[in-house]
Amino acid sequence: MDLQSKLAKYSPISLKDMDEVSLTNRIDTKYVFHVDHLFDVLDSLTDDYSILSLEGLRSHLYETLYFDDKDLSLYLNHHNQRGSRYKLRLRKYGSSDVSFMEVKKKTNTGRTIKARKKTQEFNEELSPTQLDFFKMETGEASGNWLCSSAITFNRITLVSLDPPERMTLDLNLKFSDPHTNVLFDNIIVAEVKQGSKAPSAFIRAMKKRRIHSSSISKYCLGLSLLRPSLKQNLFKSQQRLIKNIQNIA
């Protein structure tokens, strides 16, 4: 049975209905596992989640452009474990052809707060409107943001209304910059997004399979792989994890 047949077992939910669980202020729990587990995990969750469906599609291409300054300060803030930090990105939702400018903030209490706004442009050079949005949300009036890397992946979004939860499964991750690219086609990066800690069918499924949560940033992981000369001691364990999983026969 192929992936689409597995996804067809879920009840669909629309973008409008999913707004009830927007979770822009949330707790994130992340997992990384081999694609061989995907069908089994999906089979175990059909009674607990609905699936985002757009124009009949249940797996959606995401394209993301990340921005940083010339010194890669946002990357280094994460590497140096600064408590309060943020990432800047443009994200294009392929199935709907909608793009957003997004600021994803991490607080020193471990919460994730995301601000986003629709945008008409999706380019490596920021428009004045996009630049103003980033400056407003970060408080960096003199921010000179440059495109540092790009990430593409296919995303499956599962939604629970009670308790409110979004759960995403990202596959076929490709990291790239103007000089090189790295593809991980055996990797699933999963993320549970909750307003507060609550029972989660997906987290139970991970515990049952002895798959442990991981601290992982797709932006920092990708940039550390694309640019080996960067300071990256903090991300060595992430690199080993995904390379080991990718290479499982």
Give the Cα-Cα-Cα angle 213, 216, 217 (nearest 5 degrees).
150
* For the chain, domain boundaries: 9-246
Quote the pLDDT of residue 50: 94
Amino acid at 102: E
Determine the CATH number of domain 9-246. Answer: 3.20.100.30
Q: What is the dihedral of CA 54, 134, 119, 25, to 10 degrees?
A: 30
Quote the pLDDT of residue 17: 82
For the chain, what is the mean pLDDT?
Answer: 90
Positions of E strands within 23-109: 25-34, 50-52, 60-68, 85-93, 98-106
pLDDT digits (tens, 9 = 90+) for 134-150: 999 998 877 889 999 99
Contacts of 82 (CB under 8 A, 6+ apart): none
Give the tokens for residue 26: 């949330």
Rounded Cα–Cα distance for residues 15 and 85 (Å): 29
Summarize the confidence of residues 220-231 as an average pLDDT. 93
Rounded Cα–Cα distance for residues 171 and 175 (Å): 12
Quote the pLDDT of residue 95: 63
Summarize the confidence of residues 160-183 as an average pLDDT. 91
At 15, is the pLDDT very low, low, confident or very high (cuts 50, 70, 90)? confident
Find the DSSP H helices in 8-98.
15-18, 38-43, 73-79
Quote the pLDDT of residue 164: 82
Taking 90 as the threshold, does the pLDDT of residue 225 lie above it? yes
pLDDT digits (tens, 9 = 90+) for 107-125: 888 788 889 999 999 999 9
